[in-house]
Amino acid sequence: MGAVVKMRSWIRNLVLLGLVLSMIFSLIACTEETEVTGKTAAANDGQEILITGLQDSDYKITVGELKKLPVVTKKAQSTRANGETVKIKATGCLLEDVLQQKGKSVKDYSTIRFTARDAYSIAVPPDVLKNRDIILAYQIDNKVLDAENEPLRVVIPGERAMYWVRMLDRIDLETGAKQTAIKKVVFLETAVKALPQEDYQYFDSNDKAIKTKDLVETYAGGDKPKNIFIKAGDGLYKNETPANFLGAYIKISGQEAPKFLAPHLPQGMHVRDLLFINYGETSFLAYSQGQKVLSLQTLEGQSGIALSDLIKQTGLSRAAKYKFNSLNAESLELAVNELGSGLIYQNDQGTLVFACPGATDKSLENLLSMECMNP
């Protein structure tokens, strides 16, 4: 009996010793982790981010200075262009708190552009600025940012992952990035017929592409916009700087065409399935996407895009008279009350046609553009 008691006592003491040792090792590990993490975090404190548009001159703010602002931690989930779901917990400060130091608010700006150290750039539109928190994160999932994310990562809970800019280097606050009234719509499928086309290697496919510079110089040469607005068939809406846009291509064949892309631009800046590009007063519309997302109607056995929906989607200005132009230098002028149930469709040869019941010459083949006529 005494031997049993002694054995139980020995086992109990052994268990207690194990618990004590476990606690000691845990404390040592936590202390070491805290020290290492602290050193890593401190190393990033001196890194700077340039901010423009907040005051008379550009200025830089360090990560260390941002850490002095109120800290927020939020869980965020978004989807990348490839369908992958991203789930993170972001810790940092709000951009709103940064601007409040200078008496400004995120809502004071029509757009805010974030630029990364690898040249990735994205402008956040007004509806996002008004309705979402923008976190300048210096920790993700309780860990200091690694080399692929430092010095900061932008996180906007509830928005697409394309806005979650890594390696943040620059913040441009803009008040004039508003869409200019559209005076002309150019149909991309017809326009490219008159432009030089180049071979473009896209992964394993050899596709065709045109230079954006050739497109705008040929059909919108007089426009000099500060922002170029792009919309995709899936509803993605963004704007680009002239420098980024004019140095790029539009892939017009193959997978995801028409697609805005360039070898020097990060993949995240590419836009597939283009619906339209608004460049100053000119809108370039891709019929191939338009027929997928806009209302279709049937006229004399032909199904196509309703003219009224095209005008609404591109923002084409209201006018008393409109002029329709073909690639063959033919034209048709119609008063607004003559447009009726006009539509644009693609014939069996793949050529765009404008048709309008009641017009003297009710159709125009090889449709190139539609424009507002001055009174």
What CATH number is associated with residue 65?
3.90.420.10
Task: Please check the confidence at residue 33 and state whether its pLDDT lies above 50.
Answer: no
Examine residue 68 and state whether it is found in any structural domain, yes or no.
Answer: yes
* 321, 336 contact by CB (below 8 A): yes
Q: Among the three residues 119, 140, 174, which one is the final residue of a domain in this structure?
A: 174
Examine residue 282 and state whether it is found in any structural domain, yes or no.
Answer: yes
Examine residue 233 and state whether it is found in any structural domain, yes or no.
Answer: yes
- Give the span between the Cα atoms of 244 and 264, in whole angstroms: 9
Helix (H, G, I), strand (E, B) or coil at 319: coil
Does residue 106 sit in the same domain as residue 224?
no
Report the relative pairing of strands 205-211 and 259-261 from DSSP bridges. Answer: unpaired
Does residue 301 sit in the same domain as residue 197?
yes
Instruction: Walk across the sheet containing 205-211 and list its strands.
Output: 198-202, 205-211, 249-251, 259-261
* 136, 94 contact by CB (below 8 A): yes
Q: How far is CA 40 from CA 43, 131, 137, 147, 165, in A?
A: 5, 34, 15, 11, 21
Q: Among the three residues 155, 174, 193, which one is the final residue of a domain in this structure?
A: 174
Examine residue 36 and state whether it is found in any structural domain, yes or no.
Answer: no
Does residue 197 sit in the same domain as residue 334?
yes
pLDDT digits (tens, 9 = 90+) for 18-30: 554 455 444 444 4
Q: What's the confidence (pLDDT) of residue 254?
A: 96
Does residue 286 sit in the same domain as residue 363?
yes
* 51, 95 contact by CB (below 8 A): no
- Lowest average pLDDT, out of 95-104, 254-263, 296-305, 315-324, goes to 296-305
Does residue 149 sit in the same domain as residue 265?
no
Does residue 162 sit in the same domain as residue 194?
no
Q: What's the confidence (pLDDT) of residue 40?
A: 59
Does residue 252 sit in the same domain as residue 110?
no
- Give the span between the Cα atoms of 124 and 108, in whole angstroms: 13
- Lowest average pLDDT, out of 81-85, 281-285, 340-344, goes to 81-85
Does residue 217 sit in the same domain as residue 366?
yes
- The more confidently predicted of residues 226 and 188 is 188
Examine residue 256 and state whether it is found in any structural domain, yes or no.
Answer: yes
CA nearest neighbour of 168 among 118, 125, 236: 118
184's CB contacts (< 8 A; 6+ apart) are: 220, 281, 282, 283, 316, 369, 370, 371, 372
Residue range(s) defining the domain that contains residue 218: 184-372
Does residue 81 sit in the same domain as residue 162?
yes
Mean pLDDT of the chain: 87
Count of domains forming the chain = 2
Does residue 229 sit in the same domain as residue 147?
no
CA nearest neighbour of 333 among 304, 374, 303, 366: 374
- Give the span between the Cα atoms of 75 and 234, in whole angstroms: 26
* Alpha-helix runs per DSSP H in 160-306: 188-191, 212-219, 242-246, 287-293
Which conformational region is residue 314 in: left (phi greater than 0), alpha (psi within -120 to 50 degrees), or beta? alpha
Mean pLDDT of 270-276: 96
How many angstroms separate the first and last alpha carbons of the chain? Answer: 114
Q: What percent of the chain has pLDDT over 90?
A: 64
Examine residue 12 and state whether it is found in any structural domain, yes or no.
Answer: no
Q: What's the confidence (pLDDT) of residue 310?
A: 87
DSSP 289-306: HHHHHS-EEEETTEEEEE
Does residue 248 sit in the same domain as residue 345?
yes
pLDDT digits (tens, 9 = 90+) for 293-351: 987 888 878 899 988 888 888 989 989 999 999 999 999 998 888 887 788 999 999 99
What letter does residue 76 receive in the DSSP assignment? E
Q: How far is CA 320 from CA 97, 184, 326, in A?
A: 49, 14, 21
Examine residue 24 and state whether it is found in any structural domain, yes or no.
Answer: no
Q: What's the confidence (pLDDT) of residue 360?
A: 54
Does residue 215 sit in the same domain as residue 299?
yes
pLDDT digits (tens, 9 = 90+) for 44-61: 899 999 999 998 889 899
Examine residue 29 and state whether it is found in any structural domain, yes or no.
Answer: no
pTM greater than 0.75:
yes
* HSE value, Cβ hemisphere, 13 Å, CA-based, for 9: 6
Q: Among the three residues 127, 149, 174, which one is the final residue of a domain in this structure?
A: 174
